[in-house]
Structure formats: C-alpha cells, structure tokens
Amino acid sequence: MPQTEITDIHDFAAKTRMLIKKMDELKAERDALMAEINEKNEKINELNICIAEKDEKYKILNTAKMLNITDENIEDTRKQINEMIRTVNQCITLLSEK
C-alpha cells in the first residue's frame, strides 16, 4: 500500500475518533439538558398547583367578604355595580357603532 493511502486511512481514523468523541459529548450534553427540562417541568407543575390552590383560597375569601357585607357596604356596592354597568354599556355602545 502506498504511503499516501496509509496516511489517508490514519487521517480518516483520527477524524472518525474525533467525531465519535464529539458525539459522546453531545449525547451527555443532551442528557443533561433533558434532565434540566424535566426538573423545570416538575417545578412548573408544582407552581401551577400552588397557583390553583391560591386561586381557590382567593375565591373563598372573596365569597366570604361578599357575604359579610353590612348595610353600610350595600350602598357602596350598589354604586360600584351601577358604575360597572355604565362602563359595560359604554363599551357595548362603542362596539355597536363600529
């Protein structure tokens, strides 16, 4: 076999080993990133559960507050509701005009 063919074979073998090494490094990096993604997804799920619990508590507290309205607060509440109705009517009027 001529010397150039032997050199070419050695170069090819060296490049192949380098590619295999790079592939192994990339696999390890991919595995690390996948593990990080899984951790982040678990944290997101935990936070979503926490948000749902807090939302439920908020709804309960809001309902309790509404049930605890005294005579003084009824007039204020009526004023707020009437203001909201006026705002909604204004929005409906604006949308109807378009």
Q: What is the pLDDT along the chain (98 residues), one digit of tens a residue?
A: 677 888 888 899 999 999 999 999 999 999 999 999 999 999 999 999 999 999 999 988 887 776 666 666 777 778 888 998 999 988 888 888 76
C-beta of residue 69 within 8 angstroms of C-beta of residue 77: yes
What is the per-residue pLDDT for 69?
Answer: 61
What is the per-residue pLDDT for 97?
Answer: 75
DSSP for 45-75 reads HHHHHHHHHHHHHHHHHHHHHHHT--HHHHH
- Reported as type and span, the H/E element at residue 1 is none
